[in-house]
Structure 1
Amino acid sequence: MRALVMIEPSDGPDRTQVDKVDEPVPGPGQLTVEVAHAGINFIDVMARRGDPGYASGWPYVPGLEVAGTVRSLGAGNTGFSVGQPVAAFTRGGGLAEVAVAESALVVPLPGGVSTAVASAAPLMLSTALLLLTDIGRFRPGDTVLMHSASGGVGGAVARFVPALGGGRRIGVVGRPDKVDAARAAGWDTVLVRGPELAGAVRSAARDGVDLVLDPSGTTMLDVDLAVAAPTGRIVLFGNAGGGTPEPLPPAGRLIGGNLAIGGFSMSSLTAAAPASAADALRRVLDLVADRALDVEVTEIDSLDGVAAVHQRLAEGQGSGKYVVSVAA
């Protein structure tokens, strides 16, 4: 079968190629998916550059979310049938014509949901939902601040806020040329990251921000703390810049400010609590099927175009959510 293969760590696309690899065989409690569409994510870039913990070994086939049909079932797997439309989390290997997944992380695809949209649901949409609800404790009327607001998760968060009761949406982008994309995604106010960011946020939200969602590790944490309202929540859910995150602030600063800092990792959740991850995916797909959530994706027409998208994301040039049509 064809798959996207990263030969060894690299900061560029020079060590990524589409190649023939062996088709995976499902073990007990697993199944394989004939992939129609797969999601493309910045986490693939983190694996490509060799960040610890993102690639299981080299060469490496990336890809953590897929949609398609069940191709084969491992021993003892009675919950699915061959040919059934599904969406799934994978532990790598999703950017291929066939991917293996744990059955506990596979969800039937509701009628009316395309595989292109469904392939964006396991990581992007489920992460956005959990950041707001289970982790961030969003309440209708809250002011939400999102770093990397023009990206896939940022756009999904902007769309979830109205679906969850509404609130003020403030998006932060890294460059002025991303402002329009963030506004198009639904952010009410869009600010460009810079030395005056904290003051600009305070001008836009004079009572402070109730919920800050930050994928940049700890590089923006001083700003997050400066703009958070009393009883505000800050959720760190990535380390996009790489490197070692700085220590968190002293307990006294959090206690004195009535602030909470939480963390979130979808990959860790799928390992430690797969039922919670699958439940979030199911909730998201139902919202899409019921037309309560509108999702836009940019579709790449083959695996051959994925390396260029990875490079676009690595250079901060990407906007929105990218998925790839994989079906042969």
Structure 2
Amino acid sequence: MRAVRCNEHGLPATLAIETLPDLHPEAGELVIDVKAASVNFPDVLIIQNKYQFKPPLPFTPGAEFAGVVRAVGAGVAGFAPGMRVAAYTAHGAFAEQARVNAADVIALPDNLDFSAAAAFMLAYGTSYHALVDRGALQPGDTLLVLGAAGGVGLAAIQIGKLVGARVIAAASSVEKLAFCREHGADEVIDYAHEDLRERIKTLTGGNGPDVIFDPVGGAYAEPAFRSIGWRGRYLVVGFANGEIPKLPLNLALLKGASVVGVFWGHHMKHEHALAEQEFAALIEWIKTGKLRPVITKRYTLDQTPQALDDMMNRRVTGKIVIEM
């Protein structure tokens, strides 16, 4: 089988495409023929040794994928060769075959194609967990999404609207904000050219948002947090900007606000039963046509380094996938 390999830590151009032996499952595992794999910002970090999880070299990057079960290991129930599935794995998805724990695999509905399935586990799982579980988002709440044109940002817009929130999308260009409006945002903020705090104040009548979804970090975190409403929930989803902000915690006291961490990977590990319930809710939305992951660009396996470079340099919006 062919696979993308990270033989040394570095930028996407250092990755290689290699031919490796076919995979075989251990007990409790599945081997899956990968049909599509999604590209996420942590993939850019992990190949540079900048992510929380640090696999030993050499390794194959890629955290989520969809495909067809090839082989089933001892002790695995509920899966059989030929089944259509999606899976989350910390690494290993950018390859023609992937080996994964059966607990990290879900069966797919027939009306969800492989590319869309590959694109929903991490981004939509993270956003649902963040907004519904950690953020307690309610109908009628105002939700502010930073980095709204990215994969998790777009998922947060879609899920926020399905919950019944009023969604304000913040991004860095007119084109990105038009993309956010196209997919459900009620209001938008161009934080590259507008004063973020003043615009939030105007759009919320001075009350501030109930929930702030922040996968970016960096310079916009503090003004957003200073704008949060009474009993607001600030969801710390990630640091795509590369800078971990120092939030003024006295504001948490003055506004009765909460700073809430969101780490979907550990949620999957430590609260697997709850994560399965969340996926069931997402799958039901997909089955009924209420939710559809948005794929904005598709690459081949050989183009994986370019896909990661495009992600790193923010040349793409929404979700991008590698198709085998």
**Identity over aligned pairs, percent:** 28
Letter in 1 for 2:269: A
**Aligned equivalent of 1:3:** 3
1:1-328 matches, within 5 Å, as 1-11=1-11, 13-164=12-163, 166-194=164-192, 196-206=195-205, 207-217=207-217, 219-242=219-242, 245-250=244-249, 252-326=250-324
Equivalent-residue separation in structure 2 for 1:312 and 1:182 (angstroms): 19
Q: 1:92 to 1:278 in 2, by over 3 A?
A: farther
Deviation by residue 1:9-35 (Cα, 9 ceiling, x = unmatched): 223x32012211233332222111111
Q: Number of aligned pairs?
A: 322
Q: Say which SS state the counterpart of residue 169 (structure 1) adopts.
A: strand
Q: Distance in 2 between matches of 1:24 and 1:148?
A: 37
Q: Structure 1 residue 281: deviation in Å?
A: 2.5
Tell me, what secondary structure is at the counterpart of 2:213?
A: strand
Q: Specify the code of the residue in structure 1 equivalent to 2:272.
A: P
Aligned counterparts of 1:64 and 1:216: Cα–Cα separation in 2? 19
Q: 8 Å contact 2:123–2:151 — kept in the other structure?
A: yes
Q: Distance in 2 between matches of 1:94 and 1:72?
A: 16
8 Å Cα contact 1:118-1:285 kept in structure 2: no
| Amino acid in structure 1 at the alignment position of 2:315 | Q
Q: Which runs of 4+ in 1 moved over 6 A?
A: none
**What SS is found at the alignment partner of 2:129?**
helix
Conserved 8 A contact 1:121-1:281: no
Q: Which has the higher contact order (CA 8 A, sep 6+)?
A: 1
Letter in 1 for 2:275: A
Report the Cα distance in structure 2 between the residues aligned to 1:31 and 1:120, rounded to whole angstroms: 20
CA contact (8 A) 1:69 1:82 kept: yes
CA displacement 1:89-120 (0-9 Å, x = unmatched)? 11210111111111111111112111111111
Conserved 8 A contact 1:113-1:285: no
Shift of 1:174: 2.5
Q: Which amino acid aligns with 2:200?
A: V
Counterpart of 1:264, as a letter, is V
- Structure 1 position 314, deviation (Å): 0.8
Q: CA RMSD in A?
A: 1.9
Aligned-partner Cα distance in 2 for 1:3–1:48: 14
Q: TM-score, normalised by structure 1?
A: 0.92
Gaps of 5+ in 1: none
**Residues 161 and 53 (structure 1 numbering): CA distance in 2 closer, same or farther, change over 3 Å?**
closer
Separation in structure 1 between the aligned mates of residue 247 and residue 24 of structure 2, nearest angstrom = 43
In structure 2, what is the Cα distance between the partners aligned to 1:275 and 1:69? 24
Helix, strand or coil: the match of 1:230?
Answer: coil
Q: Take 1:301 and 1:216, find their aligned partners in 2: how far apart are those partners?
A: 25
**Which amino acid counterpart does residue 213 of structure 2 have in structure 1?**
L
Distance 1:246 1:149 in 2: 18
What secondary structure is seen at the aligned counterpart in 2 of 1:50?
coil
* 1:116-168 Cα distance to aligned partner (Å, 9 max, x none): 1111121011112112100110100111101111111111121122322x222
Are the counterparts in 1 of residues 236 and 261 from structure 2 also a CA contact under 8 Å? Answer: yes
Residue 246 of structure 1, CA deviation: 4.5
5+ residue gaps, structure 2, are none
Contact 2:148/2:170 (CA < 8 Å) preserved in 1? yes
Whole-angstrom distance in 2 between the partners of 1:218 and 1:137: 24
Q: What displacement does 1:294 show?
A: 2.8
Change (3 A) 1:246 1:216: same
| TM-superposition CA deviations, 1:158-212 (whole Å, max 9, x none) | 1122322x22211111334422222223222221224721111111112210100
